[in-house]
Amino acid sequence: MNIQQANTAIFFGTDTGNTEEVADKIIQLLNKQGHVINKHNIADADLEEFMTYDLIIFGIPTWDFGGIQEDWEELEDELGLLNLEHTKIAIYGLGDQFGYGDYFIDAVGWLYEKLRPTQAKIIGKWPSEGYEFEESRACIDNNKSEFCGLAIDEDQQFEQSDQRIEKWVLQIVNEFETL
């Protein structure tokens, strides 16, 4: 399926607005390709709606020592029960690799773990090269070379965010259409 034909949404949780700003950048990039995206704050989400989309992009920040943004907590028990076998999912997250290097984007890893039982095809894995961190729940291999989604550090590497977002959006478009 061509991405322009896909029914796509972006769901994000945010307290400071940074995760929503990244969502807006992703939407702008996809709009330039002629694609319309439905944007939702996870605080107002209806989980049944997830099953109506071909592609869902999830955005989640990591708080303090690996915590998830509070709006996601309310969905914790229900996420893994969804049947998303016909859906492709991509995840991005925000974190601070220097201030919280032992927990860098742990919330992305948490969300990945919650979504794996849904049978969705998870796309958008991202290399960990160029980041400085000790540990991350979002690393999906033993040598910590790959995250299960895009890592954004607006605190320490904000100057790289736009380039990373652009590259990742092209990557998920390609993966959506070829995988």
pLDDT tens, residue by residue, 117-128? 999 999 999 999
Mean pLDDT calculated for residue range 49-65: 94
How large is the average pLDDT for residues 174-179?
91
Kindly state the helix (H) or strand (E) to which residue 93 belongs, with its residue range. strand 88-94
Who's near 75: CB < 8 A, 6+ residues apart? 42, 45, 47
Label the pairing between strands 146-147 and 126-127.
antiparallel
Per CATH, is 3-178 categorized as 3.40.50.360?
A: yes
Over residues 91-112, the mean pLDDT reads 94
Q: Which residues contact 115 (CB under 8 A, 6 or more apart)?
A: 58, 79, 80, 84, 89, 91, 122
pTM, entire model: 0.95
Residue that the structure tokens 């107002």 belong to: 44
Tell me the per-residue pLDDT of 1-46, one tens digit each, with 9 for 90 and over.
Answer: 788 889 999 999 998 999 999 999 999 999 998 888 999 999 999 8
Question: In which band, very low, low, confident or very high, does the pLDDT at 99 lie, cut at 50, 70 and 90?
Answer: confident
Q: Which residue has the higher pLDDT, 76 or 84?
A: 84
Q: Which residue, 125, 134, 124, 144, is CA-closest to 95?
A: 134
